[in-house]
């Protein structure tokens, strides 16, 4: 049995427990423990990624109890890719946080590790109930991380975030209960086998439970009309937290892919009409709302939050295609948009004052910050030659003929609106500041127009945050340079997801495929 599959869950779990027990005054020791635990995940993720690239579906039976009676973890190409992406974000976010973020509240490092535990567990869960458990772990940690540092804006956004996700979790349990009542199992592969043989009179109930489950994932992914919690929540969080949160909406997209492929039977399954008719329409509206919100945004934080919403719309459209090409395009675009939006959150944290702390010293622009912004928005909007453009091109190429007019128009128009939004924000944030700095009399100070005679010091952007932003954007550049092998990998991952027989052979030996 391959025990390495457990490590992405066990390492942050034990690290989080240790950090919780450590005295609050030992911030340096906590930071070291958190950094070591996070860095240990990197070689584990690389090992699992290499193993999954062989095409093997690794199944780990907890307590050696085989499915469907025992709890199983499963690792495939898609799960391994998401684990590796999570590690990259975690390393960059933790490095950007430094000691300053941890001092704004209690248990930052412990919560950070529990967040990683929930994320990694969700990507490895082989049954619906444990998917729910890991969802709750990552959500509980995110509740506290969102309000870390307090402030009216964070508390208000956190309240809405908590209430909505508690309601969603309740519906999650209802859907799981209905599916269990119909099938007598919660293992994903076994559940798919049982639902395929449901009598005709029970199929409408299964469709209702499946649609409820997909709507729960849609809320967690921030799909219209369930998106309104995201812009305020992400814009009010600290930069490192928002950077890590960039992958949380992708957990909802991942869960939609996983459950549709294994449980509901893909394009010919129970939810085929629901995804084609409703999710596709909601995806187009989400794409439009994200683009319009980005145009109206007044800060880089808010604009980046709406960039996340727009990316969710395009990813959900790919999910609703239910084809190998569509799902492969979704995975490639997911990698690109997650890296660049996380980088923009870190850049916003370096250039803009935190919500509720506008009285701090203003930040001067720099050539490096301008270059990072340019690379980040080119990737986020989908302009050539970076990976965002390649991802969108893959999506357009995979679009089924009946959907071409609607999706192509939505992508092109939203891209134009996003280009206007990033140009406007870049002009306001980066062009104007150097102009102001030229008129600084002496001592790197400028005169506050609202309070004549009061001079305030202008500080440089945090070099550590800029370096972490550059690290994530280097991932976008590497994704562009390695587009061929990465596209081959995601194509194989999408084909593997749609191969239900392979999962049945791996999870339930002896069952017919």
- Label the pairing between strands 455-457 and 445-447: antiparallel
Domain ranges of the chain: 3-507
At 89 the pLDDT is 94
Q: What is the DSSP letter of 59?
A: E
Distance CA 299, CA 297 (A): 6
Alpha helices in 125-247 (DSSP H): 128-146, 152-183, 188-196, 203-221, 229-236, 239-245
Alpha carbon of 210 to those of 45, 237, 265, 355: distances in Å? 31, 32, 11, 39
Tell me how long the chain is. Answer: 513
At 453 the pLDDT is 43
Distance CA 329, CA 327 (A): 5
- Non-local CB neighbours of 77 within 8 Å, separated by 6+ positions: 52, 53, 55, 489, 492, 493, 496
Alpha helices in 199-299 (DSSP H): 203-221, 229-236, 239-245, 248-262, 272-274, 280-296
Distance CA 282, CA 302 (A): 22
Alpha carbon of 361 to those of 357, 440, 456, 459: distances in Å? 10, 14, 7, 7
At 63 the pLDDT is 78
Would you give per-residue pLDDT tens digits along the chain (513 residues)? 578 899 999 999 999 999 988 887 788 888 899 999 999 999 999 999 999 999 889 988 887 787 777 788 999 999 999 999 999 999 999 998 877 776 776 788 899 999 999 999 999 998 898 999 999 999 889 888 887 766 676 777 677 788 888 888 899 999 999 999 988 888 888 888 888 888 888 888 988 999 999 999 998 888 988 888 888 888 888 888 899 999 988 999 999 999 988 888 766 678 878 888 889 999 999 999 999 999 998 889 999 999 999 999 999 999 999 889 999 999 999 999 999 999 999 998 888 766 655 544 455 567 788 889 999 999 999 998 999 999 999 999 999 998 999 999 999 999 999 999 999 888 887 765 544 444 444 444 444 444 444 444 555 667 888 899 999 999 999 999 999 999 999 999 999 998 888 888 888 876 654
Distance CA 376, CA 397 (A): 24
Distance CA 323, CA 317 (A): 11
């Amino acid at each position: 049995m391959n025990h390495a599959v457990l490590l992405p869950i066990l390492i942050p779990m034990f690290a989080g427990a240790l950090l919780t027990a450590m005295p609050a005054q030992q911030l340096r020791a906590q930071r070291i423990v958190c950094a070591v635990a996070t860095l240990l995940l990197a070689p584990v993720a690389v090992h699992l990624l290499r193993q999954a690239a062989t095409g093997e579906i690794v199944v780990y039976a907890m307590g050696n109890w085989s499915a469907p009676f025992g709890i199983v973890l499963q690792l495939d190409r898609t799960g391994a890719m998401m684990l590796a992406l999570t590690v990259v974000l975690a390393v960059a976010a933790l490095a950007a946080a430094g000691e300053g973020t941890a001092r704004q509240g209690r248990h930052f490092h412990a919560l950070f590790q529990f967040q990683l535990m929930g994320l990694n567990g969700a990507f490895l869960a082989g049954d619906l109930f444990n998917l729910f458990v890991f969802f709750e772990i990552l959500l509980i940690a995110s509740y506290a991380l969102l309000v870390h540092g307090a402030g009216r804006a964070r508390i208000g956004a956190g309240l809405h975030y908590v209430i909505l996700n508690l309601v969603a979790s309740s519906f999650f349990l209802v859907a799981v209960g209905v599916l269990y009542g119909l099938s007598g199992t919660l293992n994903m592969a076994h559940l798919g086998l049982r639902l395929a043989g449901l009598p005709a009179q029970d199929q409408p109930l299964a469709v209702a439970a499946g649609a409820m489950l997909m709507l729960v994932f849609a809320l967690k992914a921030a799909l219209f009309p369930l998106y309104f919690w995201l812009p305020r929540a992400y814009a009010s969080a600290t930069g490192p937290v928002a950077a890590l949160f960039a992958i949380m909406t992708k957990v909802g997209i991942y869960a939609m892919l996983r459950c549709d492929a294994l449980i509901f039977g893909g394009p010919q399954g129970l939810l085929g009409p629901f995804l084609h008719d409703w999710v596709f329409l909601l995806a187009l509206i989400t794409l439009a709302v994200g683009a319009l919100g980005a145009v109206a945004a007044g800060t880089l934080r808010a604009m980046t939050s709406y960039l996340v919403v727009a990316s969710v719309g395009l990813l959900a459209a790919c999910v609703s295609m239910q084809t190998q090409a569509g799902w492969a395009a979704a995975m490639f675009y997911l990698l690109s948009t997650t890296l660049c939006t996380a980088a923009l959150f870190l850049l916003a944290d370096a250039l803009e004052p935190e919500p509720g702390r506008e009285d701090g010293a203003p930040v001067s622009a720099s050539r490096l910050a301008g270059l990072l912004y340019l690379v980040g928005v080119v990737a986020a909007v989908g302009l050539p030659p970076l990976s965002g453009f390649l991802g969108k091109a893959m999506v357009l190429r995979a679009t089924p003929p009946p959907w071409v007019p609607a999706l192509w128009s939505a992508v092109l128009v939203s891209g134009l609106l996003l280009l206007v939004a990033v140009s406007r924000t870049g002009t306001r944030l980066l062009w104007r500041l150097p102009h102001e700095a030229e008129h600084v009399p002496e001592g790197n100070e400028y005169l506050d127009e609202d309070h004549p005679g009061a001079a305030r010091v202008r500080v440089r952007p945090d070099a550590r945050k800029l370096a972490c932003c550059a690290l994530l954007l280097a991932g976008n550049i590497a994704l562009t340079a390695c587009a061929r092998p990465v596209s081959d990998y995601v194509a194989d991952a999408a084909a593997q997801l749609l191969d239900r027989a392979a999962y049945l052979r791996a999870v339930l030996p002896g069952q017919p495929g």
